[in-house]
Amino acid sequence: MYTQSTLNKCSRKSEFSTLRIPWHHQVNNTMLALELWSTICYHLDRSDLANLARTSSQLLAAARPVLYQSVHLRSDRRGGTQATFNLLNSDPSLTKKITDIHVFTAWQKDGEAKAWLDLSVISKLTQLRSMTMIASPFKDAEEQKTFLKILNESCSSLREFTYRQDFRIAGIERLIWDDQDDRSPSHTLRT
């Protein structure tokens, strides 16, 4: 049995990740309340948190809100990404937990742009504070305009937005492209 003093000793993240709970206890009769499990989840690294979430539906309920604070989506993992979109569309409480999202669009070998980002999910990210996009997930300019409109209307907490193309050219210090915005026709590429 884990006492409060045992848990108090595990106050740092690294100590929590080495805490071993005997899983032979029935999880539905676990000695720790769900609120305490939720607190423990905030101190685990993502790998330990994911492992904890897989042990039972009750521990999944404690771990999922922490796991979904930061979400990474990739266009080349269609099954996993679609499952994430489905989960977020079916559980609106999770979209309210997301504060950081990374969107990676893989290079298409056929060169044809394909829409893959679920804009209905983006519209529900009311607590989003940081977004990173690597390459464009949009099939055309119209979809990009819709995305920007959604960000402006739905993501009022957004404070940081990073966009990077998925290429690097050695020695380039300044990259100029036409973004159809007369206010800022050139952009500095940070290396």
Residue 26 is predicted with a pLDDT of 45
Closest CA to 91 of 119, 46, 124: 124
Could you tell me if 65 and 95 are in contact, meaning their C-beta atoms sit under 8 angstroms apart?
Answer: no
Residue 167 is predicted with a pLDDT of 58
Residue 43 is predicted with a pLDDT of 92
Alpha-carbon gap, residue 190 to 180, rounded angstroms = 21
Residue 187 is predicted with a pLDDT of 46
Alpha-carbon gap, residue 16 to 144, rounded angstroms = 43
Residue 15 is predicted with a pLDDT of 44
Residue 189 is predicted with a pLDDT of 44
Alpha-carbon gap, residue 53 to 186, rounded angstroms = 46
Which uninterrupted H or E stretch holds 104?
Answer: strand 100-104
Residue 139 is predicted with a pLDDT of 87
Residue 90 is predicted with a pLDDT of 93
Segments of the chain with pLDDT less than 70: 1-31, 110-113, 166-170, 172-191
Q: Degrees (nearest 5) of the Cα angle 75, 81, 82? A: 115
pLDDT in tens, 122-166: 999 999 999 999 988 988 889 999 999 999 999 999 999 998 876
Residue 29 is predicted with a pLDDT of 46
